[in-house]
């Protein structure tokens, strides 16, 4: 990273230097440290939550937040493209293209969960409480669709790492050096949201559904 570049970011350092730190990490100049404050929706904050309650929490809080942040990040890239000069345009255009593909993939993943997986989780929960019929899945057990979602979560991590590299070489426009800080902070927020969202599903929601299905003798 050039000194001139750092100077440009420093001019817009209303973020306490977090944008610059992010780019150092993305460029491999600094080790990335997890930020404890980012963990917003800790399931440990929902002690005793049932499968249906946890499903509702993931869908209403994390799916909504993911969609909002994707839209905001995409809007900031579009803005950066409008403001960037010819030398930067190629980089920003590539970032925009990859972000659009990433957003489409995430939307497909959320839709699959909301229309196939989560309704089944709620049916399982109702059956366990004696409030609904025995649920049925065409594939016999939820472990098959869950294994597909697990794989997609891994893909999400890899795709985020690819985007992070592109963001790391993203250069500010001299006309609006603060634009890069706005974009980086929003991208960082999206990354943290997705990491927490995936952790919650992988470590809490999906294991809880598999355990309940097993306990009920289904699948
Ligand atoms: Fe999800
Ligand atoms: Fe997911």
Q: How far apart are CA 92 and CA 159, in angstroms?
A: 17
Rounded to the nearest angstrom, the distance between the alpha carbon of 113 and the centre of ligand 1 is 6
Confidence at residue 30, expressed as pLDDT on a 0 to 100 scale: 66
Work out the burial of residue 122: count CB atoms within 10 Å of its CB; fewer than 13 is exposed, 13-18 middle, 19 or more buried: middle
The residues facing 131 across adjacent strands are none
Kindly list the distances between the CA atom of residue 22 and the CA atoms of 28, 59, 74, in Å, as whole numbers in the listed order: 10, 29, 18
Q: What is the CA radius of gyration of the chain?
A: 20
Rounded to the nearest angstrom, the distance between the alpha carbon of 198 and the centre of ligand 2 is 6
Hey, where are the domains in the chain?
A: 50-215
Nearest ligand (C-alpha, residue 118): 1
Rounded to the nearest angstrom, the distance between the alpha carbon of 118 and the centre of ligand 1 is 9
Q: How far apart are CA 167 and CA 183, in angstroms?
A: 9
Confidence at residue 60, expressed as pLDDT on a 0 to 100 scale: 95
Confidence at residue 36, expressed as pLDDT on a 0 to 100 scale: 36
Rounded to the nearest angstrom, the distance between the alpha carbon of 192 and the centre of ligand 2 is 14
Q: How far apart are CA 161 and CA 165, in angstroms?
A: 6
Confidence at residue 3, expressed as pLDDT on a 0 to 100 scale: 34
Confidence at residue 1, expressed as pLDDT on a 0 to 100 scale: 41
For residue 7, what are its two tokens? 């100077």
Confidence at residue 180, expressed as pLDDT on a 0 to 100 scale: 74
Note down pLDDT in tens along the chain; length 219 residues.
433 334 444 544 445 566 667 667 666 666 655 443 333 334 555 778 999 999 999 999 999 999 999 999 999 888 877 766 555 555 778 888 999 999 999 999 999 999 999 999 999 999 999 999 999 888 889 999 999 999 999 999 999 999 988 887 766 666 666 777 788 889 999 999 999 999 999 999 999 999 999 999 997
Rounded to the nearest angstrom, the distance between the alpha carbon of 197 and the centre of ligand 1 is 6
Confidence at residue 6, expressed as pLDDT on a 0 to 100 scale: 46
Rounded to the nearest angstrom, the distance between the alpha carbon of 10 and the centre of ligand 1 is 36
């Amino acid at each position: 990273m050039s000194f001139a570049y750092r100077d440009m970011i420093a001019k817009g350092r209303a973020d306490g230097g977090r944008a610059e730190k992010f780019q150092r990490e993305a460029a491999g100049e600094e080790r990335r440290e997890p930020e404890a404050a980012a963990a917003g929706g800790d399931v440990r904050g929902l002690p005793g939550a049932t499968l249906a309650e946890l499903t509702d929490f993931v869908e209403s809080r994390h799916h909504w937040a993911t969609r909002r942040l994707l839209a905001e990040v995409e809007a900031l890239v579009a803005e950066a493209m409008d403001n960037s000069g010819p030398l930067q345009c190629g980089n920003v255009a590539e970032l925009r293209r990859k972000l659009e593909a990433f957003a489409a993939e995430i939307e497909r993943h959320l839709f699959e969960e909301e229309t196939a997986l989560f309704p089944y989780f709620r049916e399982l929960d109702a059956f366990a409480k004696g409030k609904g019929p025995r649920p049925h899945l065409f594939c016999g057990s939820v472990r098959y669709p869950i294994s597909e979602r697990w794989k997609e979560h891994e893909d999400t991590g890899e795709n985020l790492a690819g985007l992070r590299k592109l963001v790391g070489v993203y250069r500010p426009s001299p006309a609006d050096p603060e634009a890069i800080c706005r974009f980086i902070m929003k991208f960082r927020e999206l990354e943290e949201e997705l990491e927490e969202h995936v952790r919650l599903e992988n470590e809490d929601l999906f294991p809880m559904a598999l355990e309940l299905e097993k306990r009920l003798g289904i699948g």
